[in-house]
């Protein structure tokens, strides 16, 4: 497990790691897409930031291009439900978590 003390450093570590994993930019990650694959990436990022960076919803929203705290809460609720039912999503989430050494 990677230990990073500063919250902003944890946010940077997770966001930049996910961008490297998917081969995208931070701007692409933060864009307001409705394409399922891109929404999935953002929701996985939200879950990781919430669970491992000790971020409040507003902090996560700011890290992802200004998304509202209520939008973050809703996305987190959806990803948590989806991880319980979608085995492929759970596998991808665990692979990213392992890639980031979280």
Determine, yes or no, domain membership for 26. Answer: yes
pTM value? 0.89
Each residue's pLDDT tens digit, 8-66: 889 999 999 999 999 999 988 988 777 888 899 999 999 999 999 888 899 999 988 88
Domain enclosing residue 15, as ranges: 7-99
Determine, yes or no, domain membership for 35. Answer: yes
Determine, yes or no, domain membership for 50. Answer: yes
Determine, yes or no, domain membership for 90. Answer: yes
| Token digits of residue 25 | 């930019």
Determine, yes or no, domain membership for 27. Answer: yes
Concatenated DSSP letters for 36-64?
HHHHHHHHHHHHHHHHHS---HHHHHHHT
Determine, yes or no, domain membership for 56. Answer: yes
Each residue's pLDDT tens digit, 63-88: 888 878 888 999 999 999 999 999 99
Separation of alpha carbons 73 and 66, rounded Å = 14
Question: In total, how many domains does the chain have?
Answer: 1
The domain spanning residue 34 has which CATH number?
1.10.1750.10
Determine, yes or no, domain membership for 85. Answer: yes
SS3 81: helix
Separation of alpha carbons 4 and 12, rounded Å = 10
What is the number of other CB atoms lying within 10 angstroms of the CB of residue 20? 11
Determine, yes or no, domain membership for 1. Answer: no
**Are the beta carbons of 79 and 44 closer than 8 angstroms?**
yes
- According to the model, what pLDDT value does residue 4 have? 54
């Amino acid at each position: 497990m990677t230990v990073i003390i500063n919250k902003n450093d944890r946010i940077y570590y997770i966001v930049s790691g996910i961008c490297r994993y998917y081969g995208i930019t931070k701007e692409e990650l933060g864009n307001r897409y409705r394409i399922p694959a891109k929404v999935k990436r953002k929701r996985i990022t939200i879950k990781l930031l919430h669970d491992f960076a000790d971020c409040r919803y507003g902090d996560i929203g700011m890290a992802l291009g200004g998304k509202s705290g209520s939008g973050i809460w809703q996305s987190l609720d959806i990803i948590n439900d989806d991880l319980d039912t979608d085995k492929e999503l759970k596998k991808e989430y665990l692979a990213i978590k392992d890639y980031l050494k979280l």
